Amino acid sequence: MVQVLDEEGGVVGDVPDLSEEEFVAMYRHMKLARHFDERAVSLQRQGRMGTYPPLSGQEGAQIGSALALSEDDWIVPSYREHGAAMVRGLPLKQTLLYWMGDERGSLVPEDANVFTPAVPIASQIPHATGMAWADKLRHGDETDRAFLCYFGDGATSEGDFHEGLNFAGVFDTPNVFFCNNNQWAISVPRERQTNSETLAQKAVAYGFEGVQVDGMDPLAVYAATTEALEKAKDPADGERRPTLIEAVQYRFGAHTTADDPSQYREDEEVQRWKARDPIPRLERFLRDQGLLDDDRVETIEASVREEVADAIDAAESTVRPEPSSMFEHVYAEQPPELRRQSEAFARVREEYGDEAFLEEQ
Amino acid sequence: MSTQDQATQNLTIVQSVRDALATEMTRDDDVLVMGEDVGKNGGVFRATEGLHDEFGEDRVIDTPLAESGIVGTAVGMAAMGLKPVPEIQFSGFAYPGFDQIVSHMARLRTRSRSRYTLPMVLRAPYGGGIRAPEHHSESKEAFYAHEAGLKVVMPSTPYDTKGLLISAIRDPDPVVFMEPKLIYRAFRGEVPEDDYEVPIGEATTRREGSDVSVFTYGAMTRPSLEAAEELADEGIDAEVVDLRTVSPMDREAIVESFEKTGRACVVHEAPKTGGLAGEITATLQEEALLYQEAPVRRVTGYDVPYPLYALEDYYMPNAARVADGIKEAVEF
Ligand SMILES: Cc1ncc(C[n+]2csc(CCOP(=O)(O)OP(=O)(O)O)c2C)c(N)n1
Ligand SMILES: [Mg+2]
């Protein structure tokens, strides 16, 4: 398993070649993701947001991998990669709106290469293969763009995982398949998902390389992703190849805010993994390098708090969506029947008022 | 058998699901439960709570995350004589298993000339209104009703839930059992402790009326009844027929009610186009044209992807919309 930092933040591998600013930015992104996550969970608890899938514990994998990408690369995420999506330019406000049930949160800004997150497990994997394939079909070796797809350990059991990776192997698509193995698929532990010793080894069956990396070591994740991207985009031997990365990590919190992990796992296990928390680990390393001290950490924490508070304000002050907007974005041109339905909807609203719809909450 | 002589319990719909499973698993060693998170966790809605402890991991099986695997292996088990009750965690996640449902679960009897029958029940919570994320709120019973070989059951009360699920498990043919998660815990009802069957394919009249028939099922039964009560104050006497099974559909009950009222409003939360309201309307046209006094009204979901929850109350039919549809049918 690739590791750069041990659990105490001591160096045990090759530290990637990052500038001082980049190291500190990585730390700040991880703090931002963690704080965002804590606030989001508390918004849900207060009834200010719907069901939300937390990411705490998984910042090292998300941020480490997302930062390894170049500007032109893409990510194809699942529902839990708020941290990676944020690094790649999806405003936190959008993520909040989406989990607040507002369709407009699904709009990814044009300049962010983040595909619309997918909830049906593993369904995004063939998309990522297709996107990479399209780039290759259109541009051949003229481009060096890669498509990184995130999914969980549970996703490796779905047919779409097999089909997406198999196509990638057959057509040599420039993909990085990034498995966030957080040990659990809701209540089902990793060992019950597959009898394979590792998830990384599944790549062998598709004819490309699989690597296991300590997913709670952001530097190891960065290094492994960088290497995989190189293979996808510009390998020494000229043969562009996909890679499967298994980032071994842990979800500290519930599967979603609707889940109660005490039903299926022991707190002792959670505590064991918390000892590998990626944030203090990176912090220790950066302090040892003289890149962080108490003052800088405090400044970062203050700015992170402000950034998240601003995003929450922006999301919560967004006027709730116009009800008739549910008839939009279905087709390029609204078919006559849909127009009739939307007119019927308008008439009922007019006649009975919004109270008639909202009273049943 | 009269219910007075029997011990009863006061259960919600989701508790009735669990009770039916426990009842049949106790009676019949061939019955087993399988799916994502149904074991140790007791199901994300707690529909299988405690069953893992009670019956062990060979009969309450946490499977890998794979719907094609869940449905496909259940087909194999059922072909060999077990009675699997696979759970799809949310009906919106059945689609990786759709090939198995359509190509095999529905037609193995036909394909094998009845050598193999599939005594299996595919359970799935369906429907909207619970502030759930994307893909967790759809109502796509029409997909399954469209498949010859499948029976499709959609209960609306705790009593019916237990009785219908028991019937489904005992049925020699595959049943898709769609559970109205909006009302999983909305109310309680008296449910016998013993086993009993509610026959598949029989509708029931929830409210007798003479002016107009409301045909509905599952979670939409409640707003339909609510609307009927509201309209009673305005002098409109609506009959509410709960289909309980949408395939095979109780066309006799539908026609019988309509012959009495001559007017109808059909209510479901599924989208309008291709929804079962069309089938019900066509049945009336074919079987009871001469009784018809007004166009049949459809109060349904819209032909749009189910919206994220900020707008779901506008999408879901509610008492106001049902009342509006009933009035249109009556005032024509
Ligand atoms: C096709 C499909 N089946 C079931 C679900 C319900 N579900 C949502 S998340 C989840 C577990 C996913 O586990 P994993 O792939 O390990 O990702 P994680 O949530 O741990 O990040 C399940 C079963 C779903 N979203 N899609
Ligand atoms: Mg997982």
CATH code at position B149: 3.40.50.970
Same domain, B12 and B147: yes
Same domain, A301 and A328: no
Q: Give alpha helix (H) positions in chain A.
A: 20-45, 59-68, 82-87, 92-99, 124-139, 159-171, 190-193, 202-206, 218-233, 267-274, 278-288, 294-316, 336-352, 355-358
Range of the domain at B27: 7-192
Residue B270 tokens read as 């599924």
Closest CA to B304 of A102, A103, A331, A99: A331
Range of the domain at A340: 323-360
Same domain, A150 and A183: yes
Give the domain CATH number at A179: 3.40.50.970
Same domain, A175 and A286: yes
Residue A79 lies in a domain: yes
Q: Does the beta carbon of B282 lie inside 6 Å of ligand 1?
A: no
Same domain, B228 and B295: yes
Q: Does the beta carbon of A152 lie inside 6 Å of ligand 1?
A: yes
Amino acid type, A53: P
Question: Under an 8 A CB cutoff, do B65 and A100 touch?
Answer: no
Residue B197 lies in a domain: no
Same domain, A334 and A217: no
Same domain, B187 and B251: no
Residue ID of nearest Cα to ligand 1 atom 20: A185
Residue A60 lies in a domain: yes
Last residue of a domain, one of B165, B192, B219: B192
Question: Under an 8 A CB cutoff, do A357 and B93 touch?
Answer: no
CA distance B35 to A353: 43
Residue B35 lies in a domain: yes
Closest CA to A181 of A147, A154, A144: A154
Report the half-sphere exposure of A352 (CA within 13 A, side-chain side): 21
Q: Does B50 touch chain A (CB under 8 A)?
A: no
CA-CA-CA-CA dihedral for A278, A280, A286, A287, to nearest 10: -170
The Å distance, Cα A171 to ligand 1 centre, comes to: 28
Same domain, B181 and B224: no
Pairing of strands B175-180, B151-153: parallel
CA distance A280 to A286: 10
First to last CA, chain A: 49
Residue B226 tokens read as 């609510």
Same domain, A224 and A332: no
Look up the pTM and report it. 0.97
Closest ligand, as measured to the CA of A51:
1
Last residue of a domain, one of B192, B223, B258: B192
A120 three-class SS: coil
Same domain, B185 and B213: no
The Å distance, Cα A161 to ligand 1 centre, comes to: 13
Q: Does the beta carbon of A58 lie inside 6 Å of ligand 1?
A: no
Same domain, B30 and B92: yes
Residue A235 has a pLDDT of 87
Torsion sign, CA atoms A326, A329, A330, A336: positive
Residue A33 lies in a domain: yes
Same domain, A72 and A187: yes
Task: Collect all residues of chain B within an 8 Å Cβ-Cβ radius of residue A345.
Answer: 302, 314
Q: How many CB atoms neighbour CB B193 within 10 A?
A: 13
Averaged over B297-317, what is the pLDDT?
A: 98
Q: What is the pLDDT of residues B65-124, one digit of tens each?
A: 999 999 999 999 999 999 999 999 999 999 999 999 999 999 999 999 999 999 999 999
CA-CA-CA-CA dihedral for B319, B324, B330, B332, to nearest 10: -170
Give the domain CATH number at B288: 3.40.50.920
Same domain, A287 and A218: yes
Pocket test for ligand 1, best of B89, B101, B135, B138 (most atoms within 8 A of CB): B89
Report in angstroms the alpha-carbon separations of A209 from A104, A133, A204: 38, 18, 6
What is the number of residues in chain B?
332
Q: Does the beta carbon of B76 lie inside 6 Å of ligand 1?
A: no
Confidence tier at B246 by pLDDT (50, 70, 90): very high
Number of domains in chain B: 2
Same domain, B14 and B142: yes
Residue A337 lies in a domain: yes
Last residue of a domain, one of B137, B161, B192: B192
Pairing of strands B212-216, B264-271: parallel
Number of domains in chain A: 2
Same domain, B187 and B256: no
Residue B41 has a pLDDT of 97
Closest residue in B to A338 (Cα) is B303
Checking if the pLDDT of B4 tops 60, the result is no
Same domain, B42 and B148: yes
The label of the residue with tokens 């299988």 reads B48
Checking if the pLDDT of B1 tops 80, the result is no
Closest CA to B298 of B261, B259, B271: B271
Residue B18 has a pLDDT of 98
Amino acid type, B78: A
Q: Does B282 touch chain A (CB under 8 A)?
A: no
Residue A9 lies in a domain: no
CA angle B260–B262–B265, rounded 5-degree value: 110
Same domain, A81 and A138: yes
What are the backbone angles phi and psi of residue A237, rounded to the nearest 5°? -85, 5
CA distance A54 to A37: 6
Query: If you compute the radius of gyration of chain B from its CA atoms, what whole number of angstroms results?
Result: 19
Task: Collect all residues of chain B within an 8 Å Cβ-Cβ radius of residue A162.
Answer: none
Same domain, A293 and A278: yes
Residue A163 lies in a domain: yes
Residue B269 tokens read as 């939360």
Same domain, B169 and B73: yes
CA distance B292 to B325: 16
Same domain, A244 and A338: no
Checking if the pLDDT of B28 tops 90, the result is yes
Q: How many CB atoms neighbour CB B29 within 10 A?
A: 11
Task: Collect all residues of chain B within an 8 Å Cβ-Cβ radius of residue A103.
Answer: 307-308, 310-311
Question: Under an 8 A CB cutoff, do B314 and A349 touch?
Answer: yes
CA distance A315 to A301: 21
Most B CBs within 10 Å, among A326, A327, A330, A331, to test the B interface: A326
pLDDT along chain A (361 residues), means of 10: 96 97 98 98 98 98 98 98 98 98 97 98 98 96 93 98 98 98 98 98 98 98 98 90 98 97 97 98 98 98 98 97 97 97 96 83 43
The Å distance, Cα A276 to ligand 2 centre, comes to: 17
Query: If you compute the radius of gyration of chain A from its CA atoms, what whole number of angstroms results?
Result: 22
Residue A11 lies in a domain: no
Same domain, A64 and A184: yes
Same domain, B30 and B176: yes
Closest residue in A to B128 (Cα) is A361
Residue A47 lies in a domain: yes
Residue B171 lies in a domain: yes
Same domain, B301 and B159: no
Question: Under an 8 A CB cutoff, do A51 and B132 touch?
Answer: yes
Q: Which helix (H) or strand (E) holds B287?
A: helix B276-287
